Structure 1
Amino acid sequence: MRRVSTLASPTLFRALATGRFEVVTGGTTLGVQHRLLQGALYGSATGCAVRRQWFRFLSGSWGRAASLGVAGALISLAGASVISEDVYAKEPPPPELVPKDVVLYQYEACPFCNKVKAFLDYYDIPYKVMEVNPISKKEIKWSDYKKVPILMVDGEQLVDSSDIIDKLRDKIHLQKSDLNPISSDNEEEKWRKWVDNHLVHVLSPNIYRNTSEALESFDYITRNGNFSFTEKITVKYAGAAAMYFVSKNLKKKYNITDERKALYDAAETWVNALNGREFLGGSKPNLADLAVFGVLRPIRYLRSGRDMVEHTHIGEWYSRMERVVGESSRIKA
């Protein structure tokens, strides 16, 4: 088995509103559920997502002969680097507690699927991915539960992203004190609920804010999702057009007047919650950190995500999270 690096993988498809609308293109009618399209929306050409390394590297001309001062500086930098790596080192569970067979049924651009992947990646739990076709959903025909994510863990079906994470935490015997050495249980749960009840609802109006951003989002969705050739063409253009209008309804539903301001406010709200800490959990992430990182990863390198980092203070925290979550634990045979 080979571990797959995920420097690129946002996840978009997740729930939108209930109900259905018809997308008609070239005489072909696709019954697309709002839920299906919304998931795709939440994605972003990057992140999950697409976790590209966006750390800044310093460059300069060193001269042919290094003086003792330069050598000392280099030694200091090397030492600082080692310390930093130690600070942000992962803490995988003991091998005997790691599940043997983990399969994630997902949409690559779904924020909730990315939330589960952030947990799996951080705790170095190897997993396989089954990309679900959001139109036919044939990959999950066997399940009574027709949403994603679905996580199969040693033959047991887990559903709903937050519940999946709670049960995984129990399976690998992580104590709450291990996850948040500084923050309280109430604080962690408060912000996990904030992610599910507020943050995710700000994303869709932003990634479908205008026609160009809607096309950018669906270009990523169709390139990384499980679609036939015909579906890719239809979904990209018809889906982008449909979601552009659906996003306007979402703004009304969630009382959003300015979608970018809502995104920036959410980012700053999270930064303020850190209260000077590197992570909400203190020196290492807790489940709330992983949840925020997971749902933002799909949009990080889309236009909306780039704007968010440029206009708020969330970038440093996000960079730390990219480092500590590290390489994906996704595998394939």
Structure 2
Amino acid sequence: MKRFIGLAAIGRAIEGGTVTSGSTSTTHHRFLQAALYSSSSFSSAESRWFSHHEIAKHSRRSAAHSIAGTMFFSAAASSLAEDVHAKEQTPSKKFLPNDVVLYQYEACPFCNKVKAFLDYHDIPYKIVEVNPMNKKEIKWSDYKKVPILMVDGEQMVDSSDIIDKLYQKIHPEMPVDSGSEGREERKWRGWVDNHLVHVLSPNIYRTPSEAIESFDYITTHGNFSLTDRIIAKYAGAAAMYFVSKKLKKKYNITDERAALYEAADTWVDALKGRNFLGGSTPNLADLAVFGVLKPIRHLKSGRDIVENTHIGDWYARMESMVGASSRIMA
């Protein structure tokens, strides 16, 4: 019974409510943001987005389908991925942290934003997966959401604030979002948090089967008992399917796939022919979009967005630039 009460509380949190514990009313992290962007656990070699075999196969099809530039596996994407430079190395010895720990939900888009930044800058980090049902792993913190990043004992919270602070530590001489290029970067970082994530949710839970697919990560990640995994996967998927309908109405989305495709093409249009919004290398907005989209890469919505928009080539370049995870095992 407690588990179902917990799911009800999660639903309230998604709709902007609060969960009260004792005499303290705390706004909890929206579990939707932990699960609706979820994906199965695959290695990069297994990922259909990054498979060299799939790149070659779809390259042969691209001309016949007249969709050059829209397929992630196109020959153009493969060529561009080979041409880009290696990802940025930490440019200053002023920031060499000894211990970086990320408290996260595997499927949380905001946690993945932080990971994209850490991976791109080759900053080693450990991960603590938080149980979304009881959040016992972060009971020590007054901040009851994820991501939480601990850097040599210093607590950082809120994905955008975390990234800003890390950027300043890496580039102490360079203000974040400064100048005209900075204003453009700031605009699109806001677009990610205030629009893109809201478009994703109705798509990922569009049908019962897609909702269940999105909860598959529960079975392979986190500190869950077998019972908790089964309940979270099926009861959670059912709850979020209905919640997504409310979110669709809240954000005036009539056709969820059309809204998703429009968001992807809006981002591609913002590039104005550049490899990245940052020009020859990604900026913080590029990393934010990449991080938010990364958890859906194995889902139907992720496959559909690649097949029906022009975002695939950019994503291929980003995957090459960000490179392998900098995660280290605890």
Question: Does the 8 Å contact 1:180/1:285 carry over to 2?
Answer: no
Whether 1:273 aligns to 2:242 is: no
Whether 1:109 aligns to 2:107 is: yes
Whether 1:44 aligns to 2:44 is: no
Matched residue SS, 1:298? helix
Q: 1:219 to 1:81 in 2, by over 3 A?
A: closer
- Distance in 2, Cα, partners of 1:192 & 1:124: 21
1:245-256 → structure 2 map (5 Å cutoff): 245-256=242-253
Question: Does the 8 Å contact 1:150/1:157 carry over to 2?
Answer: yes
- Distance in 1, Cα, partners of 2:43 & 2:81: 27
Superposition deviation, residue 171 in structure 1: 1.3
Whether 1:16 aligns to 2:32 is: no
Question: Does the 8 Å contact 1:293/1:321 carry over to 2?
Answer: yes
- Distance in 1, Cα, partners of 2:50 & 2:81: 19
Whether 1:99 aligns to 2:97 is: yes
Instruction: Determine the structure 2 residue equivalent to 1:314.
Output: 311
Deviations 1:104-162 (A, max 9, x none): 00000000000000000000000000000001101000000000000001111000000
- Distance in 1, Cα, partners of 2:17 & 2:219: 22
Computing the radius of gyration from Cα coordinates, the structure with the larger value is 1
- Distance in 2, Cα, partners of 1:82 & 1:219: 33
Question: Does the 8 Å contact 1:107/1:113 carry over to 2?
Answer: yes
Instruction: Determine the structure 1 residue equivalent to 2:139.
Output: 141
Superposition deviation, residue 282 in structure 1: 0.3
- Distance in 2, Cα, partners of 1:83 & 1:297: 17
Structure 1 counterpart of 2:88, from 87, 90, 97: 90
Question: Does the 8 Å contact 2:14/2:30 carry over to 1?
Answer: yes
Structure 2 counterpart of 1:304, from 301, 308, 314: 301
Instruction: Determine the structure 1 residue equivalent to 2:286.
Output: 289
Superposition deviation, residue 257 in structure 1: 0.7
Structure 1 counterpart of 2:157, from 137, 159, 179: 159
Question: Does the 8 Å contact 1:54/1:319 carry over to 2?
Answer: no
Residue identity (%): 68
- Distance in 1, Cα, partners of 2:203 & 2:273: 28
Question: Does the 8 Å contact 1:211/1:244 carry over to 2?
Answer: yes
Matched residue SS, 1:236? helix
- Distance in 2, Cα, partners of 1:91 & 1:273: 26
Superposition deviation, residue 330 in structure 1: 0.3
Equivalent residue letter for 1:161: S
Q: 1:312 to 1:156 in 2, by over 3 A?
A: same
1:33-72 → structure 2 map (5 Å cutoff): 35-45=30-40, 53-55=50-52, 58=56
Question: Does the 8 Å contact 1:46/1:300 carry over to 2?
Answer: no
Superposition deviation, residue 37 in structure 1: 3.7
- Distance in 2, Cα, partners of 1:45 & 1:143: 29
1:164-243 → structure 2 map (5 Å cutoff): 164-173=162-171, 176=174, 184-243=181-240
Deviations 1:165-213 (A, max 9, x none): 0000111226558x99997110000000000000011111111000000
Equivalent residue letter for 2:114: V
> What TM-score comes out, normalization by structure 1 length?
0.79
Q: 1:245 to 1:81 in 2, by over 3 A?
A: closer
- Distance in 2, Cα, partners of 1:235 & 1:186: 41
Superposition deviation, residue 227 in structure 1: 1.7
Unaligned runs of 5+ in 1: 1-14, 22-32, 60-79
Q: 1:240 to 1:221 in 2, by over 3 A?
A: same
Q: 1:314 to 1:189 in 2, by over 3 A?
A: same
Unaligned runs of 5+ in 2: 1-12, 20-27, 58-77
Equivalent residue letter for 1:212: S
- Distance in 2, Cα, partners of 1:86 & 1:174: 26
Question: Does the 8 Å contact 2:131/2:137 carry over to 1?
Answer: yes
Matched residue SS, 2:30? helix
Instruction: Determine the structure 1 residue equivalent to 2:73.
Output: none
